[in-house]
Amino acid sequence: MSINKNLVVVTWDGVEAPLKFIHFDELKQFNLLLFNYSGKNSETDLSNSPIDHLINQSTENKGHILYHLNQFIKNNKLEYNYIGIIDDDIIFKVSEFNYMLHIAEVHNLDVFQPSIAADSYFSHRKFVHVPGIMVAPTDWVEVMAPFYKYELFNACNDYFLQTISSQGLDCFMMPVLQKIHGMTNTGIVHSAIIKHTRPIRTHLRTYSNGLTGLQEIELIRKLALQLANNPINASKFKSKFKRRVLHEGNGLIILLESKLLKLTYLLSNIWNQIKTWAQQPYFIGDK
């Protein structure tokens, strides 16, 4: 499938300059959709903008955005290979996204995300950029800038409105759907780097459904576990997956595996940093 059949969605508050965090250093090789989540008609002139599609829809948070985005794709009979949904405070370069999508297709990734700059606001160190690595395998990718094969994105449709914040879809529901659909090739593409410019704050809010972000995460975890335990799907899910991804099982084993995984990431990052230093030229007299 042509790389031009990929869609990158960037959210917008309808007030600030749209696309202000995107560096258009080369022609984009993907379609670009601007999602104005204020729902208000902005006075901003978009006539010369590089966007291919525009959605004006009032939403409470990203779960609603994902739902209305999928309805737009279906209603307009659009066909895409990958769908990427980028928060409005993410800095990135078009050239790196072009390259990232090429890498994803070459590696036949089903789900992926760009790496995160070390000076960015982040929640999970495993997503921080590592020099010298093109693609690192992972169990799941974060909801701030995920890329999904459209088949998987659409499979998640019934759960978009279950979590207004969208939290829990990334780390619990999507990995389960990947197992069910046999599309489990997931990676962090370190050849592309983004920066998250705002502090993480979604989990601190209470939404109109009466739930906080943390409560929505637990709700989606339970729904994902129900799906995994369904007799139709049960044979696809081993106890290790349930412990490592769905946090279900012996609490002590889950804790130990989590600590061991973090230690593995730490040692891997240290080793990669040592290799980077070893490749740098050293001259006598350098300080």
State how far Cα 30 lies from the chain centre.
17
- Domain locations along the chain: 3-277
At residue 44, the pLDDT reads 83
Instruction: Give me the architecture of the 3-277 domain, per CATH.
Output: Alpha-Beta Complex (3.90)
Assigned token pair, 50: 């590089």
At residue 46, the pLDDT reads 87
CB–CB of 241/184 below 8 Å?
Answer: no
Q: With the C-alpha atoms ordered 179, 180, 185, 189, is the resulting torsion angle positive or negative?
A: negative
What is the average pLDDT across 34-63?
92
At residue 54, the pLDDT reads 95
Residue 287 has pLDDT above 50, yes or no: no
What is the average pLDDT across 51-59?
96
* pLDDT tens column, 95-111: 999 999 999 999 999 99
Helix axes 174-181, 213-229, angle to 10 degrees: 20
CB–CB of 107/89 below 8 Å?
Answer: no
At residue 125, the pLDDT reads 83
Q: Specify the pTM.
A: 0.86
Q: Which of 84-98, 143-157, 235-249, 261-275 has the lowest mean pLDDT?
A: 261-275
- Helix (DSSP H) and strand (DSSP E) numbers for the chain: 7, 10
Rg (CA), the chain: 20
Q: Enumerate residues 6+ apart whose C-beta is below 8 A from 31.
A: 4, 5, 6, 7, 8, 52, 53, 80
Q: What rounded mean pLDDT belongs to the chain?
A: 89
* pLDDT tens column, 131-174: 989 999 999 999 999 999 999 999 999 999 999 999 999 999 99
At residue 2, the pLDDT reads 45
* pLDDT tens column, 203-235: 678 999 999 999 999 999 999 999 999 999 999
272 burial level (CB within 10 Å; 0-12, 13-18, 19+): middle
Q: Enumerate residues 6+ apart whose C-beta is below 8 A from 34.
A: 9, 10, 12, 18, 19, 46, 49, 51, 53, 54, 55
